[in-house]
Amino acid sequence: MPPPLDDILDRLHVVALPMRVRFRGITVRELTLIDGPAGWGEFGAFPEYEPPEAAHWLAAALESAYHKPPPARRDRIPINATVPAVDAARVPEVLARFPGATTAKVKVAEPGQTLADDVARVDAVRALVPTVRVDANGGWSVEQAVQAAKALGPLEYLEQPCATVAELAELRRHIETPVAADESIRKAEDPLAVINAGAADIAVLKVAPLGGISKLLTIAGQIGIPVVISSAIDSAVGIATGLQAAAALPALQHACGLGTGSLFVEDVAETPPQIDGYLPVQPITPDRERLHVLAASPQRRQWWIDRIKACHRLLAA
């Protein structure tokens, strides 16, 4: 059973974080933070997610706020740079926010852009960072993904190049570039279906959509392929939770997508800097003054409260 709703709401902060560039179609990231007895939890399911999906995100926030994290196997985590679908000329500016990173994830297949735009962006990244992976968020057909894999050059992997598990499985038969699954795991009723279908070489796992660190570690233990822990445009609180998850994995072969805090103009806490492409694993406590300055409007706060109530009813049931 989840903690009592009244207790959760008494501990709630709703913030709106301005972003440096448009990412996933937004320029302001709204989310809620819960100051729990065991630490801070973050609930930031994207606005379009209905309660059945968003409830997983609330479960993750409650786990972090009310339960201690699992034991850590490592005290720092390698981090990839994250490059939004910006013009190639802006790539050096973006990469400068990820000092020491030797891996970069580049957003591609952005609506309104072309494969030529993607190639120019990836080439600009590759000129500065040795290892490049791309994320299409399911934006390509199999034929388009095959074409893109050829045009983009050597890649660590293609993340969610196509939308469906069947398409990913078919694509793997046509290209040598490894395929990573993200949405096909975190949005699936059965997170292991993508593996059973032979549709992925790498699993991209995110704490919040999967319902918390405990569930993520269970899936990671069952999935049988290398795992990359990534964020969902999290605040410093969510990033710290992702780092705790990555620290608890038995094995970690790839850099993790947990450097997205640099996408914010302001965050809820002062975060430790990346050193040689790594972030330390440590708890984060939001700054009270920042929580006040970054607080969402009363109307938006009520919207999030109503949403938490709807998700809490599902968890309680």
- pLDDT, one tens digit per residue, over 280-312 is 999 999 999 999 999 999 999 999 999 999 999
Domain(s) of CATH 3.20.20.120: residues in the chain: 76-280
Q: Is residue 107 flagged as an active site residue?
A: yes
Per the CB < 8 A criterion, the answer to whether 15 and 260 are in contact is no
Q: For residue range 196-250, list pLDDT tens digits in order.
A: 999 999 999 999 999 999 999 999 999 999 999 999 899 999 999 999 999 999 9
270 in a labelled binding site: no
Reply yes or no on whether the pLDDT at 189 is more than 90: no
Domain(s) of CATH 3.30.390.10: residues in the chain: 5-68+288-316
pLDDT at 188: 80
Reply yes or no on whether the pLDDT at 22 is more than 90: no
* From 12-26, 143-157, 250-264, the region with the lowest mean pLDDT: 12-26
75 in a labelled binding site: no
- Of the residues 68, 105, 187, 206, which is catalytic? 206
* From 15-19, 226-230, 235-239, 258-262, the region with the lowest mean pLDDT: 258-262
pLDDT at 302: 98
pLDDT at 73: 98
CATH of domain 5-68+288-316: 3.30.390.10
Question: Which of 201, 102, 117 is CA-nearest to residue 152?
Answer: 117
182 in a labelled binding site: yes
Residue 273 banded pLDDT, cuts 50, 70, 90: confident
Reply yes or no on whether the pLDDT at 23 is more than 80: no
Mean pLDDT rounded to a whole number for the chain: 96
Per the CB < 8 A criterion, the answer to whether 199 and 175 are in contact is no
pLDDT at 108: 97
- Using CA atoms, how far apart are residues 97 and 23, in angstroms rounded to an integer? 15
- Using CA atoms, how far apart are residues 254 and 287, in angstroms rounded to an integer? 31
Q: Is residue 187 flagged as an active site residue?
A: no
pTM (2 decimals)? Answer: 0.94
pLDDT at 123: 98
CATH of domain 76-280: 3.20.20.120
